[in-house]
Structure 1
Amino acid sequence: MRRTRLTPEREAELFDAVLALLREVGYDALTMDAVAARTRSSKATLYRQWKGKPELVATALRRKKPVSLADIDTGSVRGDLHAMLCNADEAEMERDAALMRGLGSAIHANPDLHRALRELLIEPEAAALDAMIRRGVDRGELAPGNPALGYVAHMMIGAFIARPLIEDRPVSPDYLARYVDAVVLPALGLADR
């Protein structure tokens, strides 16, 4: 666990700078020196707060997400899935999608980045999504034996990857809402509810 000495405002400023640098130069060219210079921080402070570049990048990505899945509980799976999308800004979604595509190759080339992203971003969000699905099962909305229950995260990530690849168009909140209604909800057995 890292020691927090930074104010929430200072952390937000630092995370904004990390993401801006990632967009500008990519993961491989991003350095702790550049982050320190951009944020007028010392490298010692950065290393004291985060073990290294992979942890800093993964934490910045997690903290700057528009919505935390753990905070969503509308009382229905349909409502929860749509709440995941309601805070999305189309321009920011396009920038974030480009950022994640850029990180894709870095993830495969850098096991420390892959580990940090899994531990700090992917696993917590997957656990929150699983909890969302379990609540749907507990409420009787979802059949516990439905084989699609284990693939909701895969379906959602697929939407972000497939549209730019297949249609050469960015993902938008409207597209994601239609995707949830046409693909995810029917797979979960909620098409006619």
Structure 2
Amino acid sequence: MAEQSMAARSRFTPLRAAQLYDTVLDLLRTVGYDALSMEAVATKARFSKATLYRDWGGKPQLVVAAVKYLRPVRIDTIDTGSLRGDLYALADHSHNKELAQDIALQLGLSHAIFDNPELRQALREVMINPILDDIHAILQRGVRRGEVAPDNPALALVPPMLCSLAVARPLLSCEAMTQDDVRRNVEALVFPALGI
């Protein structure tokens, strides 16, 4: 697969590849992985199906490439001078539309990640791990500033909890998380757990 993705990158301009990956991600959000077809991608992105199969091998490889293309904005640079301020800035970082899109993408891939380990790993590497790492970096800055005890057990639990809330919300209430929801969860769950 690495050879295929290298070939695909060298054969198309970055703009053209980005258009293709955006099309794949949009279709994943709207129809999900199972209903996504190479024909629909080819039509919407104006690629030939033969090109897609030749350069990406098939739907799983194309979806993995599109997920890897999706690079979340790094949030570890948030530094307001206090952990409370950083966590509020984190809550306000994403626009409601972006939160809804990310959730739609995760839901669109949810069934497929159980059947496709490569896709599951790509989703973790590209979407989940960077967010967990960034939240961890924000918390560790709070530890270094003396705002949180270094042995506080919540330090290990807060990053996956915040990610889990965003993923579980549409399943529980049919609505994506909003900035206000994130702020309320931070105030009601994260601040008390961290003792700030």
Q: TM-score, normalised by structure 2?
A: 0.75
Contact 2:32–2:109 at 8 Å: present in 1 too? yes
- Code of the residue aligned with 2:35 in structure 1: it is A
Partner in structure 1 of residue 75 of structure 2: 69
Contact 1:126–1:153 at 8 Å: present in 2 too? yes
Of 77, 81, 84, 1:78 maps to 84
State the Cα distance separating 1:105 from its structure 2 match: 1.6
Of 50, 53, 59, 2:62 maps to 53
Per mean C-alpha deviation after superposition, the further-off stretch among 80-89 and 109-118 is 80-89
Secondary structure in 2 aligned to 1:69?
coil
Structure 2 unaligned residues grouped into runs of 5+: none
The answer to whether 1:117 aligns with 2:126 is: no
Contact 2:30–2:104 at 8 Å: present in 1 too? no
Of 131, 134, 149, 2:137 maps to 131
Decide whether aligned partners of structure 1 residues 164 and 39 sit closer, same or farther in structure 2, where only a CA change above 3 A counts. closer
Work out which of the two has the higher radius of gyration on C-alpha atoms and give 1 or 2: 2
- Code of the residue aligned with 1:43 in structure 2: it is L
Decide whether aligned partners of structure 1 residues 39 and 75 sit closer, same or farther in structure 2, where only a CA change above 3 A counts. farther
State the percentage of identical aligned residues. 43
- Code of the residue aligned with 1:58 in structure 2: it is V
State the Cα distance separating 1:91 from its structure 2 match: 3.8
Contact 2:88–2:183 at 8 Å: present in 1 too? yes
Per mean C-alpha deviation after superposition, the further-off stretch among 158-167 and 136-145 is 158-167
Per mean C-alpha deviation after superposition, the further-off stretch among 115-124 and 7-16 is 7-16
Between the aligned partners of 1:26 and 1:178, the Cα distance in structure 2 is 30
Between the aligned partners of 1:161 and 1:124, the Cα distance in structure 2 is 15
Decide whether aligned partners of structure 1 residues 157 and 188 sit closer, same or farther in structure 2, where only a CA change above 3 A counts. same
Partner in structure 2 of residue 152 of structure 1: 158
Between the aligned partners of 1:86 and 1:72, the Cα distance in structure 2 is 11
Alpha-carbon RMSD across the aligned residues, in angstroms, is 3.0
Please list the CA deviations of residues 126-152 of structure 1 after superposition, one character each: whole Å capped at 9, or x if unmatched. 222222222111111111000010012
Of 52, 67, 79, 1:43 maps to 52
Q: Which runs of 4+ in 1 moved over 6 A?
A: none
Per mean C-alpha deviation after superposition, the further-off stretch among 103-112 and 32-41 is 32-41
State the Cα distance separating 1:37 from its structure 2 match: 4.1
- Code of the residue aligned with 2:132 in structure 1: it is A
- Code of the residue aligned with 1:30 in structure 2: it is L
- Code of the residue aligned with 1:144 in structure 2: it is P
Decide whether aligned partners of structure 1 residues 145 and 98 sit closer, same or farther in structure 2, where only a CA change above 3 A counts. same
Decide whether aligned partners of structure 1 residues 76 and 55 sit closer, same or farther in structure 2, where only a CA change above 3 A counts. farther
Contact 2:38–2:52 at 8 Å: present in 1 too? yes
The answer to whether 1:94 aligns with 2:103 is: no
State the Cα distance separating 1:9 from its structure 2 match: 4.6
State the Cα distance separating 1:28 from its structure 2 match: 2.7
Secondary structure in 1 aligned to 2:147?
coil
Between the aligned partners of 1:118 and 1:150, the Cα distance in structure 2 is 17
Of 126, 140, 143, 2:146 maps to 140
